[in-house]
Chain A
Amino acid sequence: DADVTQTPRNRITKTGKRIMLECSQTKGHDRMYWYRQDPGLGLRLIYYSFDVKDINKGEISDGYSVSRQAQAKFSLSLESAIPNQTALYFCATSDPREEETQYFGPGTRLLVL
């Protein structure tokens, strides 16, 4: 089945460490997104990419960077993790040629100690 996958699903790291979260999709969608979810704060957009050569900051990009390695792959990096980056991270994809629906991955739960 065409899907959106994320690795790792869970990660514990220490303050100051560099960490990468990866997202892959087999939907053939051009658009990909990274969100973080915190209790009471909803889903907040970190970065988004409308095609392989396009990268845009979202509302909370400080402390994060991304790489769009291919149409199917979009990685999120925390260069120097801090405890307030502890959250649930979701990748999502969409295809404006079809519809506006965003398809989410299963999420990565990150704990920064």
Chain B
Amino acid sequence: GENVEQHPSTLSVQEGDSAVIKCTYSDSASNYFPWYKQELGKRPQLIIDIRSNVGEKKDQRIAVTLNKTAKHFSLHITETQPEDSAVYFCAASKSFQKLVFGTGTRLLVSP
């Protein structure tokens, strides 16, 4: 079955810096890659997703890139702000099947 690895487990940046979180997946048939954000004490919420027919997707300060050949995808956050502090989870699945999540990255943005 699918296995998703996520790095780093913790990431500390200064406000205004960029942050990058990387994930690798094992099943070449996976074609849907979402990212969820979980603020402290809250439920996970989808922030962005990408499908395998697209190499990059942007939404304001966040972007996701996908390298199908290498089977890895990354979340990029630019101009980080304190409210970006949270745990971020990547996931992978075949379309409309169950998600397999990574182990999470705790991002801390210091003012």
Interface footprint category on A: 20 to 34
**Which residues of B are found within 8 Å of A44, using beta-carbon distances?**
101
| CB-CB nearest in chain B for A94 | B96
For the A-B complex, the count of residue pairs with Cβ-Cβ distances under 8 Å equals: 47
| CB-CB nearest in chain B for A39 | B104
Tally of B interface residues using CB under 8 Å: 23
**Which residues of A are found within 8 Å of B46, using beta-carbon distances?**
101-102
**Which residues of B are found within 8 Å of A45, using beta-carbon distances?**
98-100
Q: Does A33 contact B (CB under 8 A)?
A: yes
What is the CA–CA distance of A84 and B82 in the complex, to the nearest angstrom? 34
Q: Does A90 contact B (CB under 8 A)?
A: yes
Which of A43, A58, A105 has the largest number of chain B CB atoms within 10 A? A43
The interface of chain B, by Cβ under 8 A from chain A, is 1, 6, 9, 32, 34, 36, 42-46, 49, 89, 93, 95-96, 98-104
